[in-house]
Amino acid sequence: MDDLRSNVGQSADEEENCRFVRIAIPASVEFSVNVAGSDDPYQNFLVNGLLFDDGWRLVQALIRPRDVFFDCGANIGAFSIPAAWRGAEVHAFELLQANVQHLRRAAAKNRLNSIFIVEGAVSDSDGTVGAVGYSAWGVAQKGAGTIPSIALDTYVREQGIGHVDLVKIDIEGSEKDALQGMRRLLTRDHPDLVIEANVLTCGNKGYAYRELLSILARFGYQLYRIDGCKLRPWGLTSTQEIICTDYYATIKSAQEISARTGWPIVPLTGEEVIDNIMRQDRCGDVHKQYILAVENLLPREIVRDERIAEKIAKWRPLHNDEVSRVLTIGVGSPELAPKP
C-alpha cells in the first residue's frame, strides 16, 4: 500500500470558501468550516456545539497523552483535533476529499504535528471503492471507484505502528467491513472501541447491527451502550429501542473504566427505555417506523405500557414495506445472533 498519510503540521493554506471557528471544549481549538455553513447541517451542528455528544465525551475521557487513536470516519475533525490537542497520536481516516481538506486546514491552524490524515475508506481489504453522499453522510460503495480502501491490519503493519489504544468507528454502514479488516489488531492490542450501531445504515449494507457486537464479543470484549454519560452493560440478545446509538467495547475491568472516565456503569432501566421511545415522537418518520419494526423484539412490559401503546398506535399508519424490510435486516433476530 502506498503511504496515504499526510502529517499536516506541514502546510494547509486556508481557502476563500472556508473560515475557522474556535470552540472551547474545554480547549480553544479551531475547526475549518464552509463560509456557507448553513448549507451543511453537520458543520452547523459543530459550530453550535451539538456534535459533542456522549460518544464524543467518552472518547475524550479515554484519551491520554501518547495514546495512539484511530479515528475512522474523521469528517472535519470533531474527534481527531481535540484528541491530538490532548497529546494523542491520531490517525484520522476520512472518505470524502472535501472533509479531508477541512481537517488538514484545522490541524495546521492548531499547530498539531501528531495527527496523520489518511484519505480513504476503512474497509475489509485494500483496493479502491466509490463513494456517494456528502459531509457526514459519505457512503463507501464497493466496485468501481478511485478512492483507496484501507484494511487497518495492513495499515498498522505497513506503517509500523507498535500499539493502538483506542479506535472510533462511525462510517455509515461500513462498520462491519472495518472490523473484518482489523482482526489482527483486535487480537494483538485489544484496543478500546467506540462504534456506532445505526440499524438503517447496517440494513442498507445487508447485515444486522448485532453482528458488530457479536464480532467484538468473540474477541473477548465486554460491551456497553453509551447513554446519558453512563455506560450500560449490554447483551448480544438485547434490542436497542432507538435506531442509532454508540457502543463501547473494552477488555478493561469495571474498576479501570470508572477510574479512567469517571462514568458510572449502570443498567438501562425500563423507565429510561420508555423515555427513549417517547422521544422518537419528535424525530423523523424512519425513527418511528423503527419502533414498529422492533415492536415484537422489545420487552413485553415496555410495549404494553400505556404510553408506548398509544405512540405505537399513532405511528402505525407510517408503516412502509421497503423501510421495514431494511430495518428488519438491520436489527436482525436475537435468536440468530452469533454467539461469542
Q: Where are the domains of the chain?
A: 5-189, 270-336
Distance (Å, whole) CA 217 – CA 293: 25
Average pLDDT, the chain: 92
Residue 39 confidence (pLDDT) above 90: no
The arithmetic mean of pLDDT across residues 52-72, rounded, is 96
Where residue 143 falls among pLDDT bands split at 50, 70, 90?
A: confident
Distance (Å, whole) CA 322 – CA 328: 10
What CATH architecture applies to the domain 5-189? 3-Layer(aba) Sandwich (3.40)
What is the pLDDT, as a whole number, of residue 17?
Answer: 76
74: cell is 474523521
Q: What is the percent of the chain with per-residue pLDDT over 70, rounded to a whole number?
A: 92
What is the pLDDT, as a whole number, of residue 36?
Answer: 63
The closest alpha carbon to 154, from 184, 191, 187, 188, belongs to 184
Around 307, how many Cα atoms within 13 Å sit in the side-chain half-sphere?
13
What is the pLDDT, as a whole number, of residue 25?
Answer: 79
The arithmetic mean of pLDDT across residues 284-291, rounded, is 97
Element (H, E) at 62: helix 54-62
Residue 60, Cα to own-chain centre: how many angstroms?
Answer: 14
Residue 1 confidence (pLDDT) above 90: no
Around 314, how many Cα atoms within 13 Å sit in the side-chain half-sphere?
13
CA 126 to each of CA 1, 10, 147, 233, 259: distance values in angstroms, whole numbers, following the listed order:
8, 27, 11, 34, 38
Q: Which of 5-19, 173-187, 201-215, 289-303 has the lowest mean pLDDT?
A: 5-19
Q: How many residues does the chain have?
A: 340
The closest alpha carbon to 327, from 205, 238, 225, 170, belongs to 205
Q: Which of 28-32, 37-41, 309-313, 328-332 has the lowest mean pLDDT?
A: 37-41
What is the pLDDT, as a whole number, of residue 16?
Answer: 62
What is the pLDDT, as a whole number, of residue 187?
Answer: 98
pTM across the whole model:
0.93
For the chain, helix, strand, coil in percent to 5 are 40, 25, 35
